[in-house]
């Protein structure tokens, strides 16, 4: 296992874990939904450490050729995850709410910077970290962490979008949704063909 890449993934997952304390506005306590959302990241970090200390074998077994291929393939995900996380942090002027608290209400919507193409860039960066960790350590535990993380973040994103559509910013947010993707940029639809018939 590549130690430098392991450290990068552990730092990446640690940054994700520190966001609530360092950046997000907390109007209440960390509730069950927050802990449910955090659990795939904890499982992923524990799995990486377990593999490093020899308690978990990757699906590649002891074949170093494949391990190197997977490590190289996973590196861009860690870098992109950290870069997108900091780009998203730099987009905000005030701390965001945690969204897992019932009393949260949007103060405004952000449609610029990291949000100009993706509605949930933080979640996108989180998913890149989980996917990259699975590629780095292809094992049932990291696959489960990625799948659970995707399902939980997709559910949370849908709830956030529902609340924003029901807020005072609803019509503006609906327009924004039509031009952006949830976790990755929306592929623009092809412009209609305007050919005149010559017959």
Indicate the pTM of the whole model: 0.85
Block means of pLDDT (10 residues each) for the chain, length 199 residues? 94 90 63 85 96 82 77 96 94 67 67 92 96 95 97 93 87 92 80 46
Structure tokens at 134: 């699975």
Q: What pLDDT does residue 138 have?
A: 93
pLDDT of residue 39: 94
At 196 the pLDDT is: 45
Which domains, from first to last, does the chain contain? Answer: 3-179 (1.20.120.1630)
pLDDT of residue 166: 86
Distance of CA 127 to the CA centre of its chain: 4
Structure confidence at residue 40 (pLDDT): 96
* Closest C-alpha to 121, from 157, 85, 93, 94: 85
- Which pLDDT belongs to residue 20? 76
Which secondary-structure segment (H or E) carries 3? helix 3-22
**How far, in Å, are 15, 18, 149, 166 from residue 156 at the CA level?**
20, 19, 10, 15
How open is the CA angle 52-16-179, to the nearest 5 degrees?
125
Helices and strands counted in the chain (H then E): 6, 0
* Rounded Cα–Cα distance for residues 22 and 125 (Å): 17
The rounded distance, in Å, linking the Cα atoms of 97 and 109 is: 12
pLDDT at position 48, please? Answer: 96
């Amino acid at each position: 296992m590549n130690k430098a890449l392991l450290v990068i993934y552990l730092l990446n997952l640690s940054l994700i874990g520190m966001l609530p304390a360092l950046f997000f506005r907390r109007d209440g306590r960390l509730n069950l939904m927050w802990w449910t959302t955090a659990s795939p990241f904890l499982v992923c970090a524990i799995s990486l450490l377990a593999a490093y200390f020899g308690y978990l074998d990757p699906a590649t077994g002891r074949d170093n050729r494949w391990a190197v291929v997977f490590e190289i393939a996973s590196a861009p995900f860690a870098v992109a995850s950290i870069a997108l996380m900091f780009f998203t942090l730099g987009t905000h002027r005030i701390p965001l709410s945690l969204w897992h608290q019932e009393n949260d209400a949007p103060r405004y919507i952000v449609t610029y910077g990291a949000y100009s193409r993706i509605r949930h860039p933080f979640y996108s960066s989180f998913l890149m970290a989980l996917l990259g960790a699975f590629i780095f350590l292809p094992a049932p535990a990291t696959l489960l962490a990625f799948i659970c993380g995707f399902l939980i973040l997709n559910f949370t994103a849908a709830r956030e979008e529902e609340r924003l559509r029901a807020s005072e910013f609803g019509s503006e947010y609906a327009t924004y949704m039509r031009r952006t993707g949830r976790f990755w940029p929306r592929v623009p639809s092809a412009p209609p063909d305007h050919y005149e018939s010559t017959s």
